[in-house]
Amino acid sequence: MTKKPTGMSEAPREYKLEDNALQIKKIGNSLGLILSKEVLSRLKLKEGDKLHIVEQTERGIKLSPYDPKHAKAMEIARRSFSTYADTYKALAK
């Protein structure tokens, strides 16, 4: 039986990661997912870090600490620097 929260001073409940599935829980007026210390440690995440949602297939997602938009922008920048290396060197003078 799960106790319902009665206030902000209530001690945090213990959550278990069962079969590698996360359950959506009510947290205050919002919904959220709780990650265990073990998962956070394995993924090298800490409070305040962001996870980006990457849509995979219908109803499928991947959570990643790496921003795919940033990665794509960096790839475009690398190609630009490679293609126009002489131009960037001249502009840097």
User: Along the 93 residues of the chain, how does pLDDT read in single tens digits?
Assistant: 444 545 455 555 554 545 567 888 999 999 998 888 888 888 889 999 988 888 888 878 888 887 878 888 888 989 998 999 999 889 988
Strand partners, 21: 18
Structure confidence at residue 19 (pLDDT): 52
* Closest of 5, 30, 20, 26 to residue 63, by C-alpha: 20
Secondary structure letter of residue 18 according to DSSP: B
> Which helix (H) or strand (E) is 2 found in, with range?
none
Structure confidence at residue 12 (pLDDT): 52
* Closest of 91, 41, 33 to residue 63, by C-alpha: 33
- The SS3 call for residue 44 is coil
Q: Delimit the domains of the chain by residue range.
A: 1-47, 50-93
Structure confidence at residue 14 (pLDDT): 52
Structure confidence at residue 53 (pLDDT): 85
